[in-house]
Amino acid sequence: MIKKIIYIFILILLLIFIFDDKILNYFLSKKITDWTEQNAELNFSKLDYLDGKFEIDNITVREKNDSLSKIFESNFISIDINYSSIFSNLVTFSEVNISNPKFYFNVESIINELDDKKLIDNLDNTTKDKPKIYPLKSKDKNFLISDLSINNFKVIIKYPDNNKNSEIILSQMFFKRVGTFY
């Protein structure tokens, strides 16, 4: 009986080792989808568990109701995590680099009863729905990014009556000590 349990345990470890990137892709896609309440897809290109370095070669967040409408995308993200901090209250990342991110901002028009157009942005949803009430957490997990760099950041603004989108190219950004910590 003990031999069977050991064989099953070794088989599970072997499967996790072989399919680790697929498991991690699924897990993180599901977590990002839950956190943002939007559809998220990502693909790991490099997983180096010993050094704590991860590279994502594609990440896309789409609107939940419209699978063609993007909210955010980036073609490369590298993450350097400090493993010793994973089981503590403060998870630390020594370096995060985000390359070529694009943020899509929709401006919608609504025709009210008086037939005059009123522009609203897609971030102002407070008049439509009541805010979601989250349960109290028993333990809070904080994070700290020591160095964050964002390269070639673009914001694309979509207007309702304009066929051409406005594209704003932002400068290269560097941040130190980003996160939620006390």
Domains of the chain, residue spans: 2-180
pLDDT of residue 114: 46
Q: What residue type is assigned to position 10 of the chain? A: I
Phi, psi of 69 (to 5 degrees): -85, 115
Q: What is the pLDDT of residue 118?
A: 53
User: For the packed helices 2-18 and 20-36, what is the interaxial angle rounded to 10 degrees?
Assistant: 70
- The pLDDT, as a whole number, for residue 127 is 56
The ranges of the chain with pLDDT < 70 are 16-20, 67, 109-129, 181-182
Angle at the Cα of 68 from the Cα atoms of 119 and 128, rounded to 5 degrees: 40
Tell the burial category of 77 from Cβ atoms under 10 Å away from its Cβ (0-12, 13-18, 19+). buried
Q: Give the residue carrying structure tokens 């990137």.
A: 21
- Structure tokens of 180? 């939620």
What is the per-residue pLDDT for 102?
93
The label of the residue with tokens 């603004």 reads 157
Looking at the DSSP assignment, which residues form a beta bridge with residue 174?
A: 149
Q: Per DSSP, which regions of the chain are E strands? A: 39-48, 53-62, 70-74, 76-81, 90-99, 102-111, 117-121, 142-151, 154-158, 166-169, 173-180
pTM of the model: 0.68
Label residue 146 left, alpha or beta by phi (over 0 means left) and psi (-120 to 50 means alpha).
Answer: alpha
The pLDDT score that the predictor gives to residue 162 is 73
What's at 39, amino acid-wise?
A: N
pLDDT (tens digit per residue) in 127-146? 566 777 777 777 777 888 99
Quote the pLDDT of residue 111.
Answer: 57
| pLDDT score for 99 | 92
